[in-house]
Amino acid sequence: MTHADDPCAVRVRGLSKSYRRTTAVRDLDLDVDYGEIFAILGPNGAGKSTTIEILEGNRKRDAGEVSVLGEDPGTAGRSWRAKVGIVLQEASDAGMLTVDETVRMFTNCYGRSRVPGEVLELVGLGGVAGKRVRTLSGGQRRRLDVALGIVGMPDLLFLDEPTTGFDPEARRQFWELIRLLAADGTTIVLTTHYLEEAAALADRVAVIVGGQVVAVDSPTRLTEHVDAAATVRWVDADGVHVERTDRPTELVRERSHDGSELAELTITRPTLEDAYLRLIGQV
């Protein structure tokens, strides 16, 4: 199947999964276009991990249709798996091996692969290639996880909480890596609890609550799914005033038409965090 046949790298319709009496995913629909960075947000227990595991082919579904890179991940074979990269939230490793040895070992699992040294430079581990994995810091181990996820040159990369444990500088360096991979044509699906990360990276964001998608849009337009009124705050002789309105400019004009000074005037719009909290019912 070519991209012209189906523009979606991931297409999900009516996906459902339960564990005994607990429904993790319920009648979920989702589309991810080829070449985009797609972020999935949601509170703990919302069904994010279950959904991702089904898309990766690592968990069976109860119902629904799922197509990933044109195939059903539940029945796809080795050639399909070679096109999918996975970076788990927690990964075990062979601590006795060096970083370079670990990456070289993984290259043997693929028909095509990146040059190990180039991969390590790409993820910022070139300087520690000779170190034992067990001696790496938490952030360095996370970078190694990413190196192993991309060494096979995947068409689609799943990233589960990829920057957990990163300091702010390392997180931003990692963002540049993700943008580089996307620019190279890799489709990326990531879950994250960092809303700043989703806003910085994602072309589109899906919010999952109670096993269902409640909103899908770009980070900048996601606020349109909730009350997007601006908050206008100012101080005058009568004290502090705060009003919400869809027409902040008109409000300011009305309040100052007689020449009154609106001291400490601020106008703020809802952020992605505001929209997210409202969508999951926290405000």
Question: 25-66, pLDDT tens digit by residue?
Answer: 999 999 999 999 999 999 988 999 999 999 999 999 999 999
Distances (CA, A) of 159 to 40, 113, 223: 10, 19, 25
Cα separation, 18 vs 50, in Å, equals: 10
Q: Chain centroid to CA 250: how far?
A: 38
List all residues 6 or more positions away from 205 whose beta carbon is below 8 Å from its beta carbon.
Answer: 38, 39, 40, 41, 198, 215, 216, 217, 218, 219, 222, 272
> For residue 162, what pLDDT is reported?
83
Q: What is the pLDDT along the chain (283 residues), one digit of tens a residue?
A: 445 566 799 999 999 999 988 999 999 999 999 999 999 999 988 999 999 999 999 999 999 999 999 999 999 998 999 899 998 776 656 678 999 999 999 888 887 888 999 999 988 899 999 999 999 887 788 888 888 988 999 999 999 888 877 778 878 888 998 998 899 899 999 998 888 899 999 999 999 999 999 999 998 888 777 776 888 999 887 889 998 888 888 888 888 887 777 888 998 877 888 888 888 886 4
Assess contact for 46 and 276: CB atoms under 8 A: no
Transcribe 101-122 into DSSP letters.
HHHHHHHTTSSS---HHHHHHH
pTM of the entire predicted model = 0.82
Neighbours of 199 (CB within 10 A): 18
**116: burial class by Cβ within 10 Å (0-12, 13-18, 19+)?**
buried
Q: For helices 138-150 and 168-183, give the axis angle rounded to 10 degrees.
A: 10
Domain limits, the chain = 226-279
